[in-house]
Amino acid sequence: MAHRRSTRCRGELARLPGDRTALPEFSSDLPAAEIQSARPNPRRKFRRNSMKLKACLGACVVVFSSIVFAQESPKMTAEEKAQMDAMMRAATPGDAHKKLATMIGTWDAKVKMYPMQPGAPVQESTGVSENKWVLGGRWVQETFTGNFMGMPFSGIGYTGYDNVKKQYVGTWMDTMSTSVMTSSGGATGEKTYEFNSTMDDPMTGKTMPVKSTMRIVDDNQHVMEMWAPAPDGKMFKMMEITYTRKKS
């Protein structure tokens, strides 16, 4: 096909008046596919231009969005910054939380329950307490399993430090009640803590005050004692738990 078109063109030029200078021969040795590919392709050029336009528009959108966001988000006022700083301080664990690290681990628990009646026998039982950090080192979660008066017993509690109230706080729930005991307190010495708690009294249906202490013997043992009001209103020691770190 290319050879026939070349011959036809030379014949038509020969019939034109004027300069009859011989024109260079058109080579038809190339395959038709290569000749076709050498020709400019308008569709291919349009696609390239279209892709460049889309990329340019995308970049413009990003820049425009950044400008609008910057205009619509002014810098925080001094009051807003102070509020943000206060929130961050309240949410960040500190040195008071680190002191609870001595409680982390698995402990064998020896429990003593003291009766209100003088001379009555002390009830003893055993259990296992597993303590671990939760919520990013803000709380120590205690999971207790054991027995009480010959029946299975389990409980779960949380102890942490409230940066706003500047005191230690805690909660306790167990299978002996459907109520929650809440506690708050602080350090009374290098290795001693005292907590004031409230719990529901199933006998009276009223809230009952409870006092508890925690004494850190060393890294492998600590002792918790609890006092509650007797019928005459006086506080008596109702419970003592000695925690000894479980040997691996």
Q: For the segment 171-211, what is each residue's pLDDT rounded down to a tens digit?
A: 999 999 999 999 999 999 999 999 999 999 998 899 999 99
Whole-prediction pTM: 0.68
Does residue 3 lie within any of the structural domains? no
Residues 124 and 153 in one domain: yes
- Its domain, for residue 69, covers 24-74
Does residue 68 lie within any of the structural domains? yes
Q: For the domain that residue 220 is a member of, what is the CATH number?
A: 2.40.128.20
Q: Which of 55-69, 82-96, 118-132 has the lowest mean pLDDT?
A: 55-69
Residues 100 and 207 in one domain: yes
Residues 151 and 108 in one domain: yes
More confident residue, 49 or 15: 49
Domain count, the chain: 2
Does residue 214 lie within any of the structural domains? yes
Residues 69 and 99 in one domain: no
Q: pLDDT averaged over the chain?
A: 82
CA 113-198-117 angle, to 5 degrees, is 30
pLDDT confidence of residue 248: 75
Does residue 143 lie within any of the structural domains? yes
